Structure 1
């Protein structure tokens, strides 16, 4: 039976919140090569910006269950966006390495709160159509974020400088808050709820005790402890590989384009626009496929497509082929995060406390990947060259495929 996706106002709010998140992510990613040149640091040191994003994400991931219990998922999404913008503004206003590292870390950590809380709400709100909603949300986000690398490149070649382009993120956040700040998922009685069927305050006894004590109400022997089994953690490892792949492309693809084609860093920043274009195409198409094809099978196909795109990109020495390879790679990568995340949430089960815990643990896997992947690739690039470092991509793809096949048995 085909699941049906209904796009109501709260769904569109979450889609657009992800769009704001995408402008931060692709904007700071496109800016990194120019920031590295400006600061005069090695690729390994520049990769620490990705590591700081990971540290921020891990820190907020650990605090996420507590935060949701205290303020609810609605407030958590907006709090995350506010903190994310504070980090972006730090990068805009500061040029010293400690300041930009702090900015990337703050933006990454607070952005993760909004991202993973919103994805959890979408999954709960749409039920069987959750994977499709998550994929479509990422498609909308990519569509909005696709302009960020282009604006960064354009501003870098003007008197404004590349930092001016990053101001798009706080501006869009303010506009979204003014337009849809009061929208959320209505409960049966007309009050507002947090997306799991509970009041936005998050204080109903069942969910509060479930998330706080780590037990499932009504089970035998005083409650079923919320232990997440090996299939969940293997799905988390697949998510790790997928996110590490995406962020490695985000932060270092432009550098390889510069090395292989001779384009300047400012012009090569548009390489991320090509990659993001592939993401958008893949996610809109994948949202429809996710309604009909099992998540694991679709994810395997997406990994195969990424391999083909990577091969074109990795071997190219001309801008046209490099950009074509990035579009193809982006189309494959487009489904990695939404499908891998939906597999993690599905493996956790549907109890409220278990969902909250699974969301937090998933954010830890993904946040760690945002730091490990780009930092490792940067270190390998310093030691062996950027092209050789990008051999890490097929290795990650192979590990993800193995994880999917084992956990699907």
Structure 2
């Protein structure tokens, strides 16, 4: 309403716990994705086989999404988050050690990738549900702000990976640095786990169906996640092929994409206070498409960096705004809505890089990247079909 005062977001220990968990998951996925080509080099396997790491990682995310409601109902949100942290630790250790084995390395690294995906998604899904319930109408702003922090932390992840890969250390220490973030999340959780947002689990949610309004945006968001994970995983290969760069430098280039995401999410967090989330979502798709055109067409390094940054700037609002729209259509069924969303996004996270890699093995990486605009256009059409999705002008009541 025009005469009401804007709501003020209160950040507390629960907010800090949720934000840091989003940042931790960001470090995981943004070191994991660029590490796939390096794992491929070390194991001397094809792009298709290497992309199976994305598939098993995604399978873990899907399983976490499907099991989220039941797990939370059985052991609670706080314990579910702790379980997720432990599984991430085991997965990252397994991925690092398994890639050094002379026998059975691929089997071990694939299993470790799945474990990391399962744990990361369990913890991240819980954090999203907690933040959404804790902040209510301000969830679009909160999720945008939390994901801005995740992008900021993730911004240095490919850079750290690339620097490590170019040295005698290899990529592994950059991925193992997640231990520090896991410890901080566990410490913050110990201080805030008694909050109502962690302890309240409406049992009725687990048996309710999600409304039909939920599904068009669900599919649109899947298309967006396919783009995000494909760009992070395989843009190093694209620039290596087109710009003739070394593997270490190429692995660091996705930092430009993440820089764009960080800046974009800071902006979206402010814009979403008094701008319709659907309008922002469509604008983000258009901006990402412009960035892709520049990245795909150029053979100049600085223009490729600019294209990656613009693509990231556009991608910035797609997950936080889309997920806020999805959760709002669920009419209070938060844990189930987030779980189903995560299952779909996990499938998309694996399918995107796998499909692009398979296309690249057959057509070349350059033509394979045509998948990106196809997904962006599909997301725009699907989101426009979702005419019943609510407005998220959460700055006003």
- Normalising by structure 2, we get a TM-score of 0.92
SS in 1 for 2:213: helix
| Corresponding residue of 2:31 | 27
The answer to whether structure 1 residue 182 and structure 2 residue 190 are counterparts is yes
Change (3 A) 1:176 1:365: closer
Contact 2:133/2:197 (8 A) holds in 1: no
DSSP 3-state at the match of 1:269: helix
Instruction: Note closer, same or farther for the CA distance 1:110–1:135 as it changes in structure 2 (3 Å cut).
Output: same
1:97 counterpart = 2:97 = no
1:51 aligns with 2:33: no
Aligned counterpart, 1:217: none
- The question of 1:65 aligning with 2:69 is answered yes
1:61 Cα deviation from its structure 2 partner: 1.4
Distance 1:176 1:13 in 2: 6
1:302 corresponds to which of 284, 288, 296: 284
TM-score, structure 1 length as denominator? Answer: 0.90
Counterpart of 2:355 (choices 376, 383, 386) is 376
Query: Within 5 A, what are the aligned runs for 1:98-117?
Result: 98-117=107-126
Which residue in the other structure is 1:219 paired with?
none
Tell me what 1:271 maps to: 253
Superposed counterparts of 1:112-151, under 5 Å:
112-151=121-160
Name the CA distance, whole Å, in 1 between partners of 2:264 and 2:244: 29
Shift of 1:128: 1.2
Contact 1:312 1:321 survives alignment (8 Å): yes
Q: State the alpha-carbon separation in 1 of the partners of residues 269 and 89 from structure 2.
A: 29
Provide the C-alpha distance between the structure 1 equivalents of 2:62 and 2:13, rounded to a whole number of angstroms.
Answer: 31
C-alpha deviation, 1:177, in angstroms:
2.5
Using a 3 Å threshold, how does the CA distance of structure 1 residues 230 and 181 change in structure 2: closer, same or farther? Answer: closer
Instruction: State how far apart, in whole Å, the 2-side matches of 1:78 and 1:272 are.
Output: 30
Shift of 1:5: 2.1
* 1:4 counterpart residue number: 8
> Quick check: 1:241 aligned with 2:223?
yes
Question: Mapping of 1:175-214 within 5 angstroms?
Answer: 175-178=184-187, 180-184=188-192, 192-195=195-198, 199=199, 202=201, 207-208=202-203, 210-212=204-206, 214=207
Q: 1:222 is matched with which residue?
A: none
| Counterpart position of 1:18 | 22
Residue 80 in structure 1 maps to residue 74 in structure 2: no
Does structure 1 retain, via aligned residues, the 8 Å contact 2:78–2:189?
no
1: CA distance between counterparts of 2:286 and 2:7?
25
Give SS of 1:141's match: helix
CA RMSD of aligned residues (A): 1.4
Q: Is the 8 A contact 1:296 1:408 kept in 2?
A: no
1 CA distance for matches of 2:337 and 2:186? 28
Q: Give the conservation status (yes or no) of the 8 Å contact 1:235–1:347.
A: no
Find the counterpart in structure 1 of residue 395 from structure 2: none
Aligned pairs for 1:143-162 within 5 A: 143-162=152-171
Q: Are the counterparts in 1 of residues 88 and 117 from structure 2 also a CA contact under 8 Å?
A: yes
Judge conservation of contact 1:184–1:193 (CA < 8 Å) in 2. Answer: no
Query: How many residues get paired?
Result: 379
Residue range with higher mean Cα deviation, 376-385 or 98-107: 98-107
Does the CA-based 8 Å contact 1:81-1:173 persist in structure 2?
yes
Gaps (5+ residues) in structure 1?
186-190, 215-225
Deviations 1:218-276 (A, max 9, x none): xxxxxxxx222322111211111111111011111111011110001111011111111
Kept in 1: contact 2:237–2:365 (CA 8 A): yes
Q: How far apart in 1 are the matches of 2:215 and 2:318?
A: 16
Gaps of 5+ in 2: 100-104, 389-397
Residue number among 259, 264, 267 corresponding to 2:241 in the alignment: 259
Shift, 1:62, TM fit: 1.4
Residue of structure 2 equivalent to 1:343: 325
Q: Which residue of 1 aligns with 2:264?
A: 282
Q: Distance in 2 between matches of 1:129 and 1:262?
A: 46
Q: Would you identify which runs of 4 or more consecutive aligned residues in structure 1 move more than 6 Å?
A: none
